[in-house]
Structure 1
């Protein structure tokens, strides 16, 4: 790869690049389309998958086709009036309610964290290092994901060198890039220590138990208790969360990694956060994204409301 290609690739997030590549393959290989495409073929492609694929998936496919043509120097067929009109008709005839992850409620967060603490204590008593490591890791990941409203890929990209945690005070986390950081300027996140369900204490306990000093915060653990060198893959967060919930006796089939983010947004809304404060904290730039979760209400501080909700 040339230096030019390296910088061009860096301008697009890995997830986006993979999604676009899969979309182009679907258009060419699965459906049998040709590139460069005509506006008529793109319109027929949409019609062929109307009602089968969600509106959001079709939008992604159009974006991928548009990006391919723009990058190759061809006219963008997705901007043609016939394509726009067909897409509008599909939205009218095939309205679909957007599927959203079940928010993790605070009582379930408390239950699963208490269960993981019990697992950690039992592992300590039986000298079960792999069990202890998993319990400490899972508790830290779930609590950080909830109270910071992180996406799964953000949790998996956290580096110890970019985290500062002070017991009883708070934690500061720096991410060089994230979905809401379109210009890749890097962003710093903070969250306070809490009396219970504390993400700061859970993070420190995990690092101390695993004896980690650098590299990815959250890693795989094999059956012998050996830690992986690489960070967890974002796709592994869903089974990790579901398995922890199921062990705690909580039906988990409707939960995804996004349940942590939605759970925090639900808690914050019920606790009196206003829309602007929640958007700033979570990192939403688009009001429409935030409005899927909340309506504007008066704001109160996080520490005070958290401690009121979960007790002393």
Structure 2
């Protein structure tokens, strides 16, 4: 890979690259299209999958095709009027409510953390080091993901050398890049210690138990209790969360990694946070993004008896 290619590669997130590759493969292999494509073929491709794929998936497919043509120096067929009109017609004839992850409610957060604490205590009695490490890791990941409102890939990219945690005070976490940091300038996020369900204490307990001093914060643990040198993959957060919830007696099939982020946003909204403070704390740039995560409810008064995290 040349230096030019290396920098071009770094400009796009790994998840986006994978999604675009899958989209191009679908267009060429599954549907049988040819590249470079014509506007007519792109329009026919949209029609072929109009009733099968969601609007968001079709939008991603168009973005992938546009990116391929632009990177190869060809005219972008997705910008043609016929493609725009077909897409507009699909939205009109196939309206569908956007699927969203179920927000993790506070009582379920309490339930799963209490269960993980029981698992840790039992593992200690049984001298089961692998189970003890998993319980501490999962508790830290879930609490930090909830109270900091991180996405799964952000949790998995956290590195110990970029984290400073002080028991009873707070934690700061530096991310060199994230989805909301389009210019890759890096940002430090802060979360205070809490009286209960504390992400700071959970992080410290996990790091100390695992004897970690550098590298990824959250890692795989094998059956013998050996820790991987690599960080967890973002796709592993969903099964990790669901398995922990199911063991705690919570029906978990409706939850995804976004449930942590939506759960915090819902809790903050019900607890009286104004939208500006919530957007600043989580890192949303526009109000539409924020409102997609907030679960409106007439029931208030769910605030914890602890200090409220404050925005940076």
TM-score (normalised: structure 1)? 0.95
Equivalent position of 2:204 in the other structure = 204
Q: How does 1:1-312 map to 2 (within 5 A)?
A: 1-294=1-294, 305-307=303-305
Q: Does the 8 Å contact 1:194/1:306 carry over to 2?
A: no
**Structure 1 pair 210–295 and aligned structure 2 pair: CA distance change class (3 A):** closer
The CA deviation string for residues 180-236 of structure 1, in whole angstroms up to 9 with x for no partner, is 000000011100000000000000000010000100000000011000000000111
Q: Secondary structure at the match of 2:208?
A: helix
The CA deviation string for residues 230-273 of structure 1, in whole angstroms up to 9 with x for no partner, is 00001111111011001101110111111000000000000011
Q: Secondary structure at the match of 1:292?
A: helix
Q: CA deviation at 1:307?
A: 2.4
Q: Does the 8 Å contact 2:180/2:284 carry over to 1?
A: yes
Pairs aligned (count): 303
- Which aligned runs of 4 or more in structure 1 are off by greater than 2 angstroms? 293-296, 304-310
Unaligned runs of 5+ in 2: 297-301
Unaligned runs of 5+ in 1: 297-303
Q: Does the 8 Å contact 2:116/2:136 carry over to 1?
A: yes
Q: Secondary structure at the match of 1:183?
A: coil
Q: Does the 8 Å contact 1:104/1:262 carry over to 2?
A: yes
Q: Does the 8 Å contact 1:133/1:210 carry over to 2?
A: yes
CA distance in 2, matches of 1:101, 1:292: 10
CA distance in 1, matches of 2:294, 2:205: 33
Q: CA deviation at 1:308?
A: 5.2
CA distance in 1, matches of 2:204, 2:82: 57
Q: CA deviation at 1:126?
A: 1.4
CA distance in 2, matches of 1:170, 1:308: 13
TM-score (normalised: structure 2)? 0.95
